[in-house]
Structure 1
Amino acid sequence: MRLYNTLKRRKEAFTPANDNDVNMYVCGITAYDLCHIGHARSSVVFDVLYRYLNHEGYNVNFIRNFTDIDDKIIKRAAEVGKEAGEIAEKFIGEFYVDMDRLGIQRPTVEPKCTEHIPEMIDLTKRLIDKGHAYATPSGDVYFKVRSFDGYGKLSGRNIDELESGARIAPGEEKQDPLDFALWKAAKPGEPFWESPWGQGRPGWHLECSAMSEKYSPLPLDIHGGGQDLSFPHHENEVAQSEAATGKPFANYWVHNGFVQINSEKMSKSLGNFFTIRDILDKFLPETLRYFLLTMHYRSPLDFSFDALEEAEKGVKRIYSALSQIDVELAKEKWKKSPFPEDLTKELDEIEKHFAEAMADDLNTAGALGHIFSAIRLAGRVAEDKNLRKSEGGRDLFARIKADMADWGTILGIFEREPAEFLLELRDNRAARAGIDPAKVQELLDARAQARKDKDFEKSDAIRDELAAMQVEVHDTPQGATWDVL
């Protein structure tokens, strides 16, 4: 497997520090609001990485934290007249609701900041003792950025360029504008913990360093998060962790790209900000997950509802093919007749290319393309009467079904029973189109009776009425079914 390492700015062969054991830390949410689609993308990306590493036989210790004390949480609590801890617990619960719907597997451990204050105080003391941090008279503790020679190596920032735009705000007691807070003295009415520097709370960057060290030997094999975290958050993590321990903090840094809305940055002020629930009110969770995998994780992803509808068509096409494969495999009799070897070899190549795509920096977009190749191959066999009825055809269908189960486990999609999913998808699309399924069924029953009575004029009129409702009728040996045009 090769991963793009932000630290080295290139793809590198992935080799864990300790044989098959992988320690992976991914920055989690600050729990003060509902998650948006940017959170969804990051969660899906690292869920697929987690799934893939497990699939490849690694023993993965996956750590994803919750920031449950922060300026934003405190501000939200003040706005609604509640305690900060109550706000954090509420939105951690809401986070799980959204992630469970998206099929995000639970990490090995999910530490909360407020449960690890002693570790954060200990790390701060070590940094002060080594001359990398200092306490102010008011009880703040700052990290000395210039004391760490490697500052800027992750993000590629030049310390002199950073200095030109840095200022010390009125009331701050920093020795240098670039220094950042490890510990913040408590303000009136804010939550606080006792420390050697007085009552206060940890700085955001400190949290992840302390919790990483708590749950994994350093260096971490993989540290991940959104592209927006590379600076200053991850840069500051590197500085404080490496200054404290004297060893590398993480060997591979993996960052996912931004989500854009109609080619613009997602922003509440622009009115183009969507929560996960905004989207799942209209589309099925699997459609959103599939959409998030259609671009390489490091590339920007342009979200629009039109793009989501295109993704839905892709999901439907694959589930429809899987449903057809199930129908074919339900047959009891198969002919012993020659089966073209080149078709079997074609599937060999598809399987090989899927594996190569996933091993090449988690190229889910390429992997999905190979899934469609397998589906097209199944379609070609199904269209040929002789191949469809042969034992070779049966074996190919069974193999593709097994491949799809394996690939679906890695990607976290296509794991539902096809017929059941397609019905749910139909009803979901009907709801968006304002179609009443009960009314459709009433018309289908009336049409069936008209056909039974040989009143074909009435039958055709009902079909036209359904078409005007954007309903497509399919006549099958088992009776009429319907779908949304």
Structure 2
Amino acid sequence: MKLYNTLAREKQEFTPLNGNDVSMYVCGITAYDLCHIGHARSSVVFDVLYRYLLHKGYDVTFIRNFTDIDDKIIKRAAEVGQDAGEIAEKFIGEFYVDMDRLKVKRATVEPKCTEHIPEMIVLTEELIEKGHAYAAENGDVYFRVRSFEGYGKLSGRQIDELESGARIQPGEMKEDPLDFTLWKGAKPGEPSWDSPWGKGRPGWHLECSAMSEKYAPLPLDIHGGGQDLSFPHHENEIAQSEAARGKDFARYWVHNGFVQINSEKMSKSLGNFFTIRDILAQFLPETLRYFLLTMHYRSPLDFSFDAMEEAEKGIKRVYTALEQIDQALERAKWKKSPFPEELPAELDAIEAKWAEAMEDDLNTAAALGQLFNAVRLAGRIAEDKKLRQSEGARDLWARIRKDVAEWAKVFGVFDENPAEFLTALRDNRAARKEIDPSAVQTKLDERQQARKDKDFARSDAIRDELADMGVEVKDTPQGATWDVI
């Protein structure tokens, strides 16, 4: 398996340091607000990486933290007149609600910053002892950026470049504008903890260094997060951890790309800011998860509600095909007749290409393409009257169904009961178009009665009335069904 390593700026063969054991740390949320579409993308990307590593048989220690003390949390607490800890706990709870709906697995360990203050103090003390950090008179502790020779190696930024834009802000007592905060001296009314430098709280960058090494030996196999975290957050993590430990912090740095809204950067000021719940108010969670996997994780992802409509069509096609396969496999009798050898061979190739796509830097877009190829193959067999009755068709359909079930475990989509999901999808689309399913059913019952009475003119008229409502009627051997046009 190859992963793009931001540190090396190339795809590299992924080889865990300790045999079958993999350690992966991913920066989690700062718990002060509801999660947005950018959080959804990062969470789903690393959930799929986690699932795929498990699929390959690795024993994975997955660490995803919660930042539960930070300037943003303190600001939100002051705005609403609550305790910062209460704010953090509230939005950690809301995070789980959103991620459960998106089928994001729990990490192996989910540490909170405030539960690891002693480890952060020890790490800061070690950096001071080694000359990489210093305490200021106001209780702040800073990291000496110029003391770490490798600073900038992850982001590719040079000290000279950083120096030109660096400034010391009022209240800061830095030796150098480039230095960053490890520990913040307490301010009136803010949460604080005792430390050798007086009361205070940890800086954001320090938290991840201390929490990651508590639960996995350094170097970590994989450290991940959004592209926006590569600088300064991940750069600073590297500096403080490697300066303290004298060895690599992480071996593979994996970053997912940005989410844009209608080709623009997402911003509350532009009015194009969407929380996960804004989106799930209109679309099923699985549709959003599927949409997030339709582009390679390193590419920019352009979100729009039109794009979600297209994703919905794609997910409907797959579930419809799976329902048809399930119905076909319920047949009791099959013919022992010749079956073209090239069809199983075609599925062999699809399976191989799915694996190749996933092994090539977790290319979910290409892997989903192979899943579509598999269900199209199933459809071609169903359309052939001779083939669809043969034992060969049964065996190939069963194999396709098994493949999709295995791939679904990795993707986290296409693992629902097809008939139930298609009903839920139809009702969701109806709600968006303000179509009342009960009213539709009433008209379908009227139409059924008209057909029994052989009043075909009335039956056709009701079909037209439903079409005017945006409803398409399909007559099947099991009875009339409906869908949203």
TM > 0.5 fold call? yes
Match of 1:425, SS state, is helix
Corresponding position of 1:137: 137
Corresponding position: 1:87 with 2:87: yes
Please give the per-residue CA displacement for 1:384-435, whole angstroms capped at 9, x wherever unaligned.
0111110000000000000000000011110000001000001000000110
- Measured in 1, the distance between the counterparts of 2:384 and 2:16 equals 48
> Where do 1:149-228 residues align within 5 Å?
149-228=149-228
Aligned ranges for residues 428-439 of structure 1 at < 5 Å? 428-439=428-439
- Secondary structure of 1:178 counterpart: coil
Deviation of the 1:477 alpha carbon:
1.2
Residues of 1 paired with 2:175 and 2:148: CA distance?
A: 15
What is aligned with 1:104? Answer: 104
Q: Distance in 1 between matches of 2:89 and 2:474?
A: 49
| CA–CA separation in structure 2 for the residues paired with 1:214 and 1:328 | 53
- Give the distance between the partners of 2:242 and 2:438, measured in 1 at CA: 64
* Separation in structure 2 between the aligned mates of residue 470 and residue 294 of structure 1, nearest angstrom: 28
Q: For residues 33 and 169 of structure 1, what CA distance do their matches in structure 2 show? A: 27
Supply the distance in 2 between the matched residues of 1:169 and 1:191 (Cα, whole angstroms). 22
Counterpart of 2:470 in structure 1 is 470
Match of 1:366 in 2: 366
**SS of equivalent residue, structure 2 residue 177:** coil
Match of 1:422 in 2: 422
Q: Deviations over 1:207-245 (max 9, x none)?
A: 000001100000000000000000000000000000000
What's the TM-score once normalised by structure 1's chain length? 1.00
SS across alignment from 2:297: coil
Q: Return the alpha-carbon distance in structure 2 between the equivalents of residues 260 and 346 of structure 1.
A: 37
CA distance in 2, matches of 1:239, 1:171: 24
Match status 1:410 vs 2:401? no
Aligned residue-pair number? 485
Q: Deviations over 1:73-125 (max 9, x none)?
A: 00000000000000000000000000000000000000000000000000000
- Please list, as runs of the form range in 1=range in 2, the aligned pairs for 1:8-47 lying within 5 A after superposition: 8-47=8-47
State the AA in 1 paired with 2:357: A
Distance 1:141 1:212 in 2: 21
Specify the code of the residue in structure 2 equivalent to 1:309.
E
Q: Give the 5 Å matches for 1:62-461.
A: 62-461=62-461
Q: 1:453, 1:285 → 2: CA distance?
A: 43
- Aligned partners of 1:443, 1:51: CA distance in 2, in Å? 45
| Cα deviation, residue 172, structure 1 | 1.1
- Name the amino acid aligned to 1:289: R
Deviation at 1:130, TM superposition (A): 0.1
- Could you tell me how far apart the structure 1 residues matched to 2:172 and 2:433 are? 56
- Quote how far apart the aligned CAs of 1:314 are: 0.3
Structure 1 CA distance, aligned partners of 2:387 and 2:457? Answer: 40
Q: What one-letter code is carried by the residue in structure 2 that aligns with 1:263?
A: S
| Stretches of 4+ aligned residues off by more than 3 angstroms | none
| Counterpart code for 2:176 | D
Paired residue secondary structure (2:57): coil
Counterpart Cα distance in 1 of 2:83 and 2:478: 59
The letter of the residue matching 1:272 is: N
Aligned residue for 1:41, secondary structure, equals helix
Unpaired segments of 5 or more residues in structure 2? none
List per-residue Cα deviations over 1:344-379 (Å, max 9, x = no partner).
000000000000000000000000100110011000
Structure 1 residue 171: deviation in Å? 2.1
Compare 451-460 and 2-11 and name the one that shifted more. 451-460
How far off is 1:478 after superposition? 1.5
Q: CA-atom RMSD, angstroms? A: 0.4
Q: For residue 144 of structure 1, report the CA deviation from its aligned partner.
A: 0.1
* Cα distance in 1, alignment partners of residues 213 and 333 from structure 2: 60
Instruction: Output the amino acid matched with 1:470.
Output: G
Whole-angstrom distance in 1 between the partners of 2:263 and 2:478: 47
Q: CA deviation at 1:170?
A: 1.9
Name the CA distance, whole Å, in 1 between partners of 2:97 and 2:430.
25
Tell me which amino acid in the other structure corresponds to 1:462: I
**What is the alpha-carbon distance in structure 1 between the residues aligned to residue 167 and residue 477 of structure 2?**
76
Cα distance in 1 between the residues matched to 2:385 and 2:169: 77
1:153, CA displacement in angstroms? Answer: 0.1
Q: What residue in structure 1 maps to residue 60 of structure 2? A: 60
Task: Find the aligned partners of 2:103 and 2:274 in 1 and give their Cα distance.
Answer: 19
- Give distance in 1, aligned partners of 2:140 and 2:452: 84
In structure 2, distance between residues paired with 1:190 and 1:478: 65
Counterpart of 1:483 in 2: which secondary structure?
strand
Deviation at residue 448 of structure 1 after TM alignment: 0.6
Provide, for residues 167-209 of structure 1, a one-character-per-residue CA deviation record: whole Å limited to 9, x for no partner. 1112210000000000000000000000000000000000000
